[in-house]
A and B are shown apart, each in its own frame.
Chain A
């Protein structure tokens, strides 16, 4: 019998080995990975905790069985399951998009490795091990962020640098809190550990001024690898942060924690929106869009109530659609313009790559929080919630979203500029130039994006489970 936690750690590792061996057959590895991640994600959500599942012959998986690893007991509790399901379903989406993406990198095998480590991060206690697993995941992500034919990934190096700088804070916090437990009258230990913890998570989540890796990672790495890092690994860090807040309730119940989180979120959103509007390249636009979304998520967390928490989870579930589509579109556009993504080089490029342009535009709508984008639902709810309590913040957040919309408008306007030659103006000969399968990938992802925007209530049961499991701000 295999215990659930071991299956969650081992299965992705086995998949990583399989897709690495068969990496020459790209369609096979991408579709196998998509299918496996999808099945695992759905299985985690639906299979009862105490029911053994027969895998092969006498081999059974027992989801709720505890297991000992590195001298620590791992248990997959029913409360943790939605988080794992989100990670696997997000990975399935990115693997599906990677099927026809033009860039070559180790995205799929390393992605499975990162999924295994993410499972370990969320399962293992105490947090010292989680911090070290997270650092190992970040180092491994470098192998995914470096494309086979591109320049050295400066964004990847910066990501590695900032994440490594975050490691000491996480490790020392654990020691400080143990000391505080032994000597409760030393209250300065609490403030030191809170500062270290805040700094560490700020470094890992790209809070200003540690954000420079986010735009850079889309500039010189395969864009989908960047999207994977920001969504799968990023979501893992968010879940870890929520675990910290749950474990150390004095941190979340501190009177100034809400205002600090809200301010951090507002600054992130302002910088993301302002810089996005001024970009003359598409890749930083995606990066600043991701920064703005991070800011909005901090604002949701800063509300310090169940509504804010639900909005944060809705953002974690839907943002891979927007970022993934933008990344896929950016990748396709670059492939049709000699690797360039500056606006001057992209004049009229949309006529040569209509599906990539469509993907970029739909993803952009989602990141800007506009209707028909997956990000619309949670952003709209944030504005509505803030309208009553804090209208000034709401107006500022609306303006930041307008910044992304302006950047997107400029990009799409350049892409769709009419070519001089009359025969180049017809889109019909170009429709199949990018390939039917690429068009299929874009259509499926775009429909999912529209679906999440029009029917967000379909996600309500999952979000409600996540809010219940989190048990914060009650």
Chain B
């Protein structure tokens, strides 16, 4: 079985423009999609690409720890949504059968979802263009961080902020904050390599995931209580 350094060496071809492209795609998926399974998956992949880029700046072990913390946050979101779905099902047994929309309602829902997704996609692409322009106009010091990683930083910071601005759902805000911090961290690891700082930033990330999950569970509980009251 290959060791971690061997695995990273095999995948090192990804740690440049392919990783930046991966981040562009996953961050835009996070902006456009409201399907939690897809979002958690996109966040996992985004962490993978960001960690691949980090391996060019810091020791592999430190990057791996950052990756583990990120994936633990994804796990927290996954478990929260699963638990939330159970809470909702318990509060509304047979909700699926009762919710039987007419074809007109179905068409309307599909149309609103599509138009919303189109708007989010357009906003995401605009922010991506702005991030590209910022990389050209305001490059981070090249002796510290290469231009392709600068682009990845700007993309994650910009799209993370967009995600926070587009939604007030705790999950979206949590994912947006983690994306924003990951973008900043990709730059910051190059200038501050103290292990204590790495640990504290990791703690901040984990706590943000926990806080977002706590609020999401509160949201589910309030929804299920409302549904129980209505029934």
B-binding residues in A (CB < 8 A): 70-71, 128-129, 132-133, 135-136, 139-140, 142-143, 146, 150-154, 156-157, 160-161, 164-165, 167-168, 171-172, 175
Contacts and interface: CB of A to CB of B under 8 A. Distances in A.
Q: DSSP class of B's interface residues: helix, strand, loop or mixed?
A: helix
A164 B192 contact: no
B169 to A, nearest CB: 9
Contacts, number: 70
Contact of A161 (B164, B192, B196, B203): B164
Given A140-B207, A152-B219, A165 B196 contact: no
A152 B222 contact: yes
A90 B214 CA distance: 27
Given A128-B192, A129-B196, A164-B180, A157 B215 contact: yes
A198 B57 CA distance: 29
Contacts of A165: 161, 180
Interface of B: 161, 164, 168, 170, 173, 177, 180-181, 184, 188, 191-192, 196-197, 200-201, 203-204, 207-208, 211, 214-215, 218-219, 222
Given A132-B197, A164-B181, A171-B188, A143 B170 contact: no
A131 B200 CA distance: 10
Nearest to B188: A171
A168 B184 contact: yes
B84 to A, nearest CB: 12
A136 B203 CA distance: 8
B201 A132 contact: yes
Given A71-B196, A132-B197, A157-B173, A146 B215 contact: yes
6 contacts: A136-B207, A153-B215, A157-B170, A157-B215, A167-B181, A168-B188
B177 A160 contact: yes
Given A132-B197, A139-B208, A164-B181, A157 B168 contact: yes
A154 B215 CA distance: 10
Contact of A164 (B177, B196, B214, B219): B177
B211 A136 contact: no
A113 to B, nearest CB: 11
A255 to B, nearest CB: 27
Contacts of A140: 207, 211
A168 B160 CA distance: 14
Contacts of A164: 177, 180-181, 208
Contact of B222 (A71, A128, A151): A151
B184 A175 contact: no
Nearest to A141: B211
B215 A156 contact: yes
A129 B200 contact: yes
Nearest to B176: A161
